[in-house]
Amino acid sequence: MDYLIEYGMFLAKAATIVLAVIIIIGAFSSAGQRKKKTGKKGSIKVTQLNDHFDGMRDALRQTVLDKDHLKLVHKDEKKKDKVEHKEKKQQLKKDKHSGSAEDEAHKKRVYVLNFKGNIAADAVASLREEITAILSLADKSDEVLLRLESPGGMVHAYGLASSQLLRIKNQKIPLTICVDKVAASGGYMMACLADRLVAAPFAIIGSIGVLVQLPNFHRVLKKFDVDYEMISAGEYKRTLTTFGEITQKGRDKVQEDVETIHDIFKSWVKDHRPSIEIEKIATGETWVGVQAKERYMVDEIKTSDECIIEACDSAEVFEVEYEFRKSTLDRLGHVMEGTADKLFSKWFAKPTDDIYQ
């Protein structure tokens, strides 16, 4: 009897805990829904990279340099900052007396964006918001630097992403694009818009081509006497399908469409990089950065880190990121996904570790 009472108490405690968790999650979810009603999709996060790099340098100097040397360095920096502050103040006074707008006297600003593309170019959702924010403040004396990484994907998706970059060019703001890993197919469609296109030595560049592929199970269905019905209006409403019989007429139509898109792609690249020999590079091939430079597909061989650090010497550099608001359930799912990934990583890594012990 005592056992049953203890078991009942255990069940009651467990039920109470579960109920409490459900109430808490529900409260957070309701709060998230109330916030969504305000119409705010997300927020802009801005990080001044000058401060970021200065902080890393200072942390290293604190350990590496002796006290006397460090004291001299700090003294020189304070002196330099004082001179720069004085010059800036004098310039502002001069512009004010001459009737110039104060905004014209600001130090050059470089806005750093990141685009990591997938097949659907989902990152364009953040990119369009980031560009809108930058264009509300930037002028011709500033610069936008995009760190681009993409193997390509859907034509319409990367067409939209490229159109977002055109907004920057239409405002006459210099656009630098850096490719550290890959800018192929739709990725290069974006990259070729740069006023200055920079690639790492072994970055993958090119793949100026168009591809359509899908599996077809028509013969499998036919083998098992399974009928597949498709009703459409319009001669070419459906050409290649997964389950229907593919006709030569359908293949020819898709081939025609692919070649048309390829011609448009080649014209796009040639218009924005007139120095290239388009027929020699529009073969669907890819090249590493140093080879791409020989073909005038990129302008410089350098990493994005080098470009950003160089910019910090003469400009104020800001990394701009648009973060969409996530619901409580989304955040909870993300945490659970991360935990699962870590567990699987540890599980699969353990046998490998044992081999080398």
Structure tokens at 68: 């006397």
The pLDDT, as a whole number, for residue 35 is 47
Q: Which of 249, 271, 293 is the last residue of a domain?
A: 271
The pLDDT, as a whole number, for residue 10 is 64
- Per residue in 131-147, pLDDT (tens digit) is 999 999 999 999 999 99
Residues 174 and 265 in one domain: no
Q: Which of 271, 294, 315 is the last residue of a domain?
A: 271
- Do the domain assignments include residue 91? yes
- Do the domain assignments include residue 97? yes
- Do the domain assignments include residue 65? yes
Residues 156 and 256 in one domain: no
pTM for the full predicted model:
0.77
Query: What integer is the mean pLDDT of 244-267?
Result: 94
Rounded to an integer, what distance in angstroms lies between the CA atom of residue 193 and that of residue 195?
Answer: 7
In which band, very low, low, confident or very high, does the pLDDT at 45 lie, cut at 50, 70 and 90? very high
- Do the domain assignments include residue 41? no
Residues 127 and 238 in one domain: no
- How many separate domains does the chain show? 2
- In this structure, what CATH number is given to the domain that contains residue 59? 3.90.226.10
Contacts of 280 (CB under 8 A, 6+ apart): 295
Residues 61 and 142 in one domain: yes
The pLDDT, as a whole number, for residue 237 is 87
Residues 196 and 63 in one domain: yes
The pLDDT, as a whole number, for residue 38 is 43
Residues 124 and 175 in one domain: yes
Residues 154 and 298 in one domain: yes
- Say if CB 205 and CB 180 are below 8 A apart: no
The pLDDT, as a whole number, for residue 357 is 37
- Do the domain assignments include residue 330? no
- Per residue in 54-72, pLDDT (tens digit) is 899 888 888 888 887 877 8
Residue type, 186: G
Rounded to an integer, what distance in angstroms lies between the CA atom of residue 208 and that of residue 269?
Answer: 9
* Residue 184: its H or E element: strand 175-184
Of the candidates 195, 190, 163, the residue with the CA atom closest to the CA atom of residue 176: 195
- Per residue in 305-342, pLDDT (tens digit) is 999 999 999 999 999 999 998 766 666 666 666 666 56
- Do the domain assignments include residue 142? yes
**Three-state secondary structure call for residue 17:** helix
Domain limits for position 90: 46-207+285-324
The pLDDT, as a whole number, for residue 164 is 98
Task: Please give the positions annotated as active site.
Answer: 185, 237
Task: Return the bridge partners of 110, or none.
Answer: 143, 317
Residues 78 and 178 in one domain: yes
- Do the domain assignments include residue 353? no
Structure tokens at 139: 């002028």
- Say if CB 35 and CB 312 are below 8 A apart: no
Residues 87 and 125 in one domain: yes
Residues 191 and 53 in one domain: yes
Residues 184 and 303 in one domain: yes
**Three-state secondary structure call for residue 223:** helix
- Do the domain assignments include residue 78? yes
Residues 189 and 243 in one domain: no
- Say if CB 270 and CB 278 are below 8 A apart: yes
- Say if CB 283 and CB 208 are below 8 A apart: yes
- The alpha helices in the chain, defined as continuous H runs, are 2-36, 49-64, 67-98, 124-135, 155-170, 186-191, 218-223, 248-272, 278-281, 289-294, 304-314, 328-355
